[in-house]
Each structure stands twice: as C-alpha cells, then as structure tokens.
C-alpha cells in the first residue's frame, strides 16, 4: 500500500464540459493536489472556476477525463461507503421527520435499529436539535434543516466527506454556529474533509489548508497552510489578528 493510499491524490487533472451548442468548455486544467488523511481542506476561487466540478469528481458523481485521481488509494466512484457528500441545500425528505431523515441514510450503513437510534439521538443533541427529532422539515428553519443535514452527513462515519457551500444560504450568526458544530464533529471523527466555499473567513476558520483556484479554466494558484491552533472556536477566532491576516492575504490573492 502506498504512502498516499489513505488520503486524496490528484495529478494532472483536466476536465471539459460539452454543451449542446458551441465548443467544449475547459472547466479544470492540469490540477495537482495531495491531501493527507484526516485533514480539513477548503477550495476557494471565483464562481465558475471548477470547484464544484472537482468536488463532483472526488465524490464519484463525475468521471475524471484526463489525469489521475485517487481517494483512499482507489479511483472515486458513486456509492462508496467511505465517502459522503453534503450539498448547498439540505435535501431533506419532506415526509420524514428530522430523525427519520437521518435514519434513511444511516440504514444503508448500519443494520442495528437500536444502534442507529442511539447515534441519531447523539448527533441531534450535538448539533443543537435535541427535542426536535420528530419535527418535519416544514417545521424547521433553514438553519435547523442544515443542522439535520450536517448530522445526517456525520452519522455515516465516512472517511472522506465533501461539502459544497453547505452554509451559503444561512444568516451570519447562524453560519458561525454551524461552522463551530462542523469543526467539532470533524475533530471527533478526524475524517478527511474537502469544503467548497466562497466565504474566505469560513475557509480560514475551519481549515488546515486553503487551496486557491484561478478563474476558469480552474487550476491551483496558491496553497495556504493555516497555522492556527486546534481545537478551534470559530466565534473566538473573530478577535484573533492572525485569522484576519489570513483572510486579507486570500482577498489579495483573489483580487
């Protein structure tokens, strides 16, 4: 087994889209990236630079057209039990309660109903939704729905978790609370995380590394190591000068 088999390895990755009309669109060009296991990495860049395309390839929702991509030592593929994906919208089933939405996903990984119920109760408590297990999505605010989606994602206990703008539609105060909860869940699980975000402060607050991508065709133009101590409290970081310096450096790189 190679030294990189527990992490993510991307070499020379390029990817085109082929619209019905017009020439092919080059979304990614010669992307190379190595992510060691149990690290938290964010991808930032202008809209349309290929961040979500890269996440789709890592998740197995799109195929790598050229170059090499491995996740945990194997090519990405849909349905892998060691990977999970959380989208920008909560994608909850409206006819299922909060607990049942989590159970719907967890039942594909864990057969014992009692063990599932215990895990679901613990995660709902950890994301601040104790007492809302029987509430339906229509009875929950958008922030609460995202908490359910976050609990559902971490219930799977996957080694690799991919997030695509999970808090993009949330107000600023709720977003910080959700960021703290995501960081706390990650610090417990120590899975490998790749997060796509447009929020530079979010990227710095949560990540070990922030990868900056160029405008389309997306390629990597900077790789910042975030040297802030862990465990982290996102709210407390707002008063740390080095945190703001990192955000300013990223703004200057993207500007």
**pLDDT per position in the chain (255 positions), as tens?**
344 468 999 999 999 988 888 888 899 999 999 999 999 999 999 998 999 999 999 999 999 889 999 999 999 998 899 999 998 889 999 999 999 999 999 999 999 999 999 999 999 999 999 999 999 999 999 999 999 999 999 999 999 999 999 988 788 888 999 999 999 999 999 899 999 999 999 999 999 999 999 999 999 999 999 999 999 999 999 999 999 999 999 999 987
Q: Can you give the pLDDT at residue 3?
A: 41
Within a domain: 182: no
**144 and 244 in a common domain:** no
Instruction: Please give the tally of structural domains in the chain.
Output: 2
Provide the pairing of β-strand 66-71 with 220-225: unpaired
**166 and 43 in a common domain:** yes
**236 and 167 in a common domain:** yes
Q: Are 225 and 208 in contact (CB under 8 A)?
A: yes
Q: Can you give the pLDDT at residue 5?
A: 60
Residues 182 and 188: their CA atoms lie apart, in Å, by 10
Q: Can you give the pLDDT at residue 6?
A: 82
**92 and 62 in a common domain:** no
Q: How many CB atoms lie within 10 A of CB 150?
A: 23
Within a domain: 48: yes
DSSP secondary structure letters along 187-245: HHH--EEEEE-S-HHHHHHH-SEEEEEPSSSB-EEEEEE----SS--HHHHTT-HHHHH
**62 and 167 in a common domain:** yes
**211 and 152 in a common domain:** no
Task: Spell out where 18-129 has E strands.
Answer: 25-35, 40-45, 66-71, 83-86
Is the torsion defined by CA of 202, 208, 213, 218 positive or negative? negative
Q: Are 214 and 27 in contact (CB under 8 A)?
A: no
Q: What are the structure tokens assigned to 122, written together?
A: 């613990």
**77 and 8 in a common domain:** yes
CA angle 225, 86, 177 (to 5 degrees): 65
Per residue in 82-118, pLDDT (tens digit) is 999 998 889 999 999 999 999 999 999 999 999 999 9
**92 and 70 in a common domain:** no
Q: Tell me the three state secondary structure of residue 28.
A: strand
Residues 43 and 34: their CA atoms lie apart, in Å, by 13
**72 and 125 in a common domain:** no
Within a domain: 185: no
Q: Which of 59, 57, 32 is nearest to 160 (CA)?
A: 59
Q: What is the DSSP letter of 29?
A: E
Last residue of a domain, one of 102, 135, 157: 157
Within a domain: 176: no
Within a domain: 183: no
Helix (H) or strand (E) holding 163: strand 160-164
Burial of 239 (0-12, 13-18, 19+ CB in 10 A): exposed
Within a domain: 100: yes
**3 and 78 in a common domain:** yes
This model's pTM is above 0.75: yes
**53 and 2 in a common domain:** yes
Q: What is the DSSP letter of 83?
A: E
Residues 197 and 86: their CA atoms lie apart, in Å, by 12
**104 and 31 in a common domain:** no
Q: Which domain holds residue 241?
A: 1-82+161-171+192-255
């Amino acid at each position: 087994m190679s030294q990189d088999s527990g992490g993510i390895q991307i070499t020379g990755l390029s990817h085109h889209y082929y619209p019905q009309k017009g020439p092919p669109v080059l979304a990614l060009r010669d992307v190379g990236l190595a992510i060691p296991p149990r690290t938290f990495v964010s991808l930032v860049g202008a809209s349309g630079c290929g961040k979500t395309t890269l996440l789709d390839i890592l998740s197995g929702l799109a195929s790598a057209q050229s170059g090499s991509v491995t996740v945990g030592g194997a090519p990405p593929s849909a349905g892998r039990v060691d990977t999970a994906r959380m989208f920008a919208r909560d994608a909850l089933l409206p006819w299922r309660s909060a607990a049942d939405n989590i159970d719907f996903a967890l039942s594909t990984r864990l057969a014992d109903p009692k063990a599932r119920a215990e895990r679901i109760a613990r995660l709902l408590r950890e994301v601040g939704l104790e007492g809302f297990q029987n509430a339906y999505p229509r009875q929950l605010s958008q922030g609460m729905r995202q908490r359910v989606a976050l609990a559902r994602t971490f219930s799977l206990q996957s080694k690799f978790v991919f997030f695509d703008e999970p808090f993009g539609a949330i107000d600023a105060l709720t977003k910080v609370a959700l960021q703290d909860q995501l960081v706390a869940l990650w610090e417990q699980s120590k899975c490998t995380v790749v997060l796509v975000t447009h929020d530079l402060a979010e990227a710095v607050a949560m990540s070990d590394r922030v990868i900056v991508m160029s405008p389309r065709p997306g390629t990597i133009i900077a790789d910042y190591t975030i040297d802030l101590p862990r465990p982290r409290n996102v709210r407390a970081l707002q008063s740390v000068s080095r945190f703001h310096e990192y955000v300013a450096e990223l703004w200057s790189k993207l500007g």
